[in-house]
Every structure is written in C-alpha cells, then in structure tokens.
Amino acid sequence: MRKVLQRTVAAMALGSIASIAMAQDDGADLVINGEIEITVRAPAPAHMSDTGIDTILSGWVFRSDETRQLEMDDFDNPAFLAVDRGIEAWNTVEGTEGKSCATCHGDVEESMAGVRAVYPRWNEEAGEVRTLAGQINDCRTNQMGADAYAYDKSDMTAMEALISVQSRGMPVNVAIEGPVAETWAQGQELYYTRFGQLELSCANCHEQNYGNYIRADHLSQGQINGFPTYRLKNAGLVQTHNRFRGCIRDTRAETFAVGSPEFVALELYVASRGNGLSVEGPSVRP
C-alpha cells in the first residue's frame, strides 16, 4: 500500500512540473478599496532555498474571479461584519479589572498597526512563543481578569480580524532566529511529517502540488497571511489552527488541538514561509 502511495505521489510530483509553471497565476494584482496594495507574490524567503519554491503566492492567486472580487472591497467582504463586532468588543469593559482593550491600547488603528505582521513571536516575560490568539487571551485573563475566548470561535476570530485589518498591506515579517529557533524547527519538522492513513504531510500538497487539484479542491501554497479567513462554505471566519486541524483530519489522522504547542510551532513555521507577502486578513476564500 505504502509503495503504491509513494508511486502515486511521485507521479503527482512529476505531473506538477508542467503545471507549476502556470500554477493558475494569471498575474492579477490585489488592490483593496482601490487604495491598499497587497503583495500577493514575492520572492521566497532565504530559509526556503531548498524547497523548490522560488516565488511565494498568496492563496488569493489560486481563487476564482468571483471569490477574488469579494476581497477587493471591504463592503463586499463578509468578514467585515466580524470586524464591526471586533470594534465593539475592543471598547467593551470586561472582567474583574474594569478594563477594555482600549483602556491600555487606546485607538486600535494606531496601537495595532503592524502587530499582525510579526506574530507568532517570542514573549520574553513568559518565555514562550505566542500566537496572536494566545496574546489576546493572555491580555484577557491576566490584564482584564476576564474569561479567555475559545481559541477558534467567533469572538476570537472577530478580534483577530480587527487586529489584522490594521496591518493590511504590510509585509509579513516573522522572526525565525534567536529564542524562537527551537520552536520554528519543531514547526518545520511537523510540516514535513506525514500524518494519517493517507500519509500526507503539509509539504505533499502545499509545496509539491500547489496549483494542482486534489479532487475538486485547488491546492494553494497554504499561506496564512490572509487569516483569519472568511470561508464561503462556512459562512464565517476560520482561525488558522482550525484550518490546520481540518487539513490533518483530511489525512485521516487524529489531529492536534487548537492552541496546542504543536500547532503554535506549525503556525510560526508556516507564517515564516509567507515572509514578504502582505498581511491580507481577513481574506475571503471559497
């Protein structure tokens, strides 16, 4: 069985050589609201030198014209319903300390500009790598004395969407060296580990076969610069770890939990593969 599978994967890889050249990239540019220019293709960061990918591509490039258009105007982008909810939450006092986000951080447009671009990042005080969601919950529990948001539910994705919007158009610039190096290496190992009965790693689809179809799904490079993402099939925002879990589930494996150390490491590694693309969240995908 394994041999057959390996052969299939090899055949798929061969088939992809021709299609990678086009990879459905028609060269279209993404400009949001007619003013925010989004970098949807960029030279691959140095650490990807032996992956065979020399240009990194946003998931937007792989989508149909109709889906692309939904992201080009904030009015058409259904994720902005969540952004509006996020603004309300930002200004709402919760918890035992009598604070809202705004109490410490003031105007979200000023204080959160550029934040999404550098997460996940090292937190010196806690001595750990923190995702944006992890940081939001740390603020809620330790600063506000409020309950943590469920890691991948709508309150969290709304807040993430609000924070992401403030960095749209800025290049993703996640640090991979220094104190995060160990976690980053762990994430890299996970990325190349085959999971499940189908024995598929992230790389099998998103590195070796992007641009090809897996059944009816058009494979992207698996970039996460557009998260949280409004998925039309869910009619709601999808959190990064939720997407990871979905992918691993589809390999017919037991998945890691959202917010788990494994997924934090994987998020750091996958985010770093997008260094140079613009922060695009909240994006729209099918």
> Which of the residues 187 through 206 are near other proteins (CB under 8 A)?
none
Instruction: Name the one residue in this structure whose structure tokens are 């001595």.
Output: 127
* Other CB atoms within 10 A of residue 282 CB: 28
Q: Single out the segment in contact with other proteins by CB under 8 A; choices: 44-52, 73-81, 121-129, 193-201.
A: 73-81
Site residues for other proteins, window 208-247 (CB under 8 A)? 235
One of 75, 96, 177, 254 touching other proteins (CB under 8 A): 75
CA distance 75 to 229: 16
Q: Which residues pair with 238 in a beta bridge?
A: 229
126/232 with CB nearer other proteins? 232
Which amino acid belongs to residue 98? G
Whether the CB-CB separation of 138 and 62 falls below 8 Å is answered with no
User: Token pair of 125, please?
Assistant: 């005080």
# residues contacting other proteins (CB under 8 A):
8
CA distance linking residue 85 with residue 64, whole number of Å: 28
**What are residue 43's DSSP bridge partners?**
55
DSSP helix, strand, coil percent of the chain (3-state; round to 5): 45, 15, 40
Residue 86, helix vs strand vs coil? helix
3-state secondary structure 180-237: HHHHHHHHHHHHCCCECCCCECHHHHHCCCCCCEECCEECCCCCCCCCCEEECCCCEE
Element (H, E) at 278: none
Amino acid letter for position 206: H
**Of the candidates 12, 48, 72, 81, which one interacts with other proteins according to CB under 8 A?**
81
Tell me which of 101, 139, 202, 247 is the catalytic residue: 247
Q: Tell which one of 76, 107, 147, 189 touches other proteins (CB under 8 A).
A: 76
Q: Which of 72, 78, 105, 199 binds other proteins (CB under 8 A)?
A: 78
Q: With contacts defined by CB under 8 A, name the span among 76-84, 162-170, 238-246, 249-257 that binds other proteins.
A: 76-84
The CB-of-12 to other proteins minimum distance in angstroms stands at 34
Q: What is the DSSP letter of 171?
A: B
Decide: is 80 part of the binding site for other proteins (CB under 8 A).
yes
* Minimum gap (Å) between residue 282 Cβ and other proteins: 14
The interface region with other proteins, picked from 10-18, 72-80, 144-152, 258-266 by CB under 8 A, is: 72-80
Q: Which lies closer to other proteins via its Cβ, residue 79 or residue 136?
A: 79
Running DSSP on this structure, what letter comes out for residue 267? H
Q: Which is nearer to other proteins, 94 or 138 (CB)?
A: 94
Q: Give the DSSP H or E segment for 108.
A: helix 108-111
Question: Per CB under 8 A, does 150 bind other proteins?
Answer: no
Which member of 84, 109, 147, 182 binds other proteins (CB under 8 A)? 84
Question: Given the complex with other proteins, which of 47 and 68 has the nearer CB atom?
Answer: 68
Q: What angle do CA 139, 168, 29 make, to 5 degrees?
A: 155
Binding status of residue 65 toward other proteins by CB under 8 A: no
Question: Which of 47/85 has CB closer to other proteins?
Answer: 85
Catalytic, 247? Answer yes
Active site residues: 247
Applying CB under 8 A, the residues found at the interface with other proteins are 75-76, 78, 80-81, 84-85, 235
